[in-house]
Amino acid sequence: MLLHIHPDDPQPRHIRAVAECLRDGGVIIYPTDTIYGFGCDIHQHKAIERICRIKKMDVAKAQLSFVCYDLSDLSKYTKSISTPLYRMLKSHLPGAYTFILPASKEVPKILQSKKSTIGLRVPDNNIARAIVQNLDGPILSTSLPGEMVEEYTDPDLIYENFKGLVDIVVNGGIGGMVPSTVIDCTKDDYEVIRLGAGAWEVED
């Protein structure tokens, strides 16, 4: 299904339909503040495995992140956050960042890597956050495979490429071309793993 959702004022009935699909173990493609991505409920193991099959990757080695609604949601899935780290997160979120943080016991075992870390996001995108809010929990998220920019920016083309593999493709307008900036916050000195759409300045 290709579902058109207004990027600024998402229709509640469409958001409910997407959240219901996720609760039922569905897989979606949806917009963020960067590029379009695959999404599923973090507690639906078969959906997680399905996404990994589509991307031809091992669940244990997959680079998957949680899309949360806000910082309070985010704090459930990571271990205690220091005051300086909290201030830094608050100043950058919502935004085009993925923060690598120590995973808490709330992270499903299937998603706990050997490093016991998790990538956490709060995108500055009304559709993504509305879905998460209605779902009442994070969306497991990962980027789309594709070589050409159009393959992961144009929702109509995305639908043509993936309509047989996912349950819903959310059309929220043309997507971005640059992925999120990834910051490893598991060390005292935060490390930029990937410089993407989010601006990052190293503080002295």
Q: Is 36 exposed, middle or buried (0-12, 13-18, 19+ CB in 10 A)?
A: buried
Residues 157-197 pLDDT 10s: 999 999 999 999 999 999 998 999 999 999 888 999 999 99
Q: Rounded CA gap, 172 and 39, in Å?
A: 14
What is the maximum alpha-carbon separation in the chain?
50
- Per-residue pLDDT at 114 exceeds 70: no
> What percent of the chain lies above the pLDDT cut of 90?
68
Q: Is 62 exposed, middle or buried (0-12, 13-18, 19+ CB in 10 A)?
A: middle
Residues 75-95 pLDDT 10s: 888 987 888 999 999 999 999
> What percent of the chain lies above the pLDDT cut of 70?
95
For the record, the structure tokens of 36 come out as: 């379009």
Residues 23-34 pLDDT 10s: 999 999 999 999
Mean pLDDT of 33-55: 94
Superfamily of domain 2-194: DHBP synthase (3.90.870.10)
Residues whose CB is less than 8 angstroms from the CB of residue 197 and which lie 6 or more positions away in sequence, other chains included: 33, 34, 96, 176, 178, 179, 180, 181
Q: What's the pTM value of the predicted model, to 2 decimals?
A: 0.92
- Per-residue pLDDT at 130 exceeds 50: yes
Task: Please report which confidence band the pLDDT of residue 204 belongs to, taking 50, 70 and 90 as the band edges.
Answer: very low
| Whole-number pLDDT of residue 109 | 80
Mean pLDDT of 127-140: 95
Mean pLDDT of 130-146: 92
Q: Rounded CA gap, 19 and 42, in Å?
A: 12
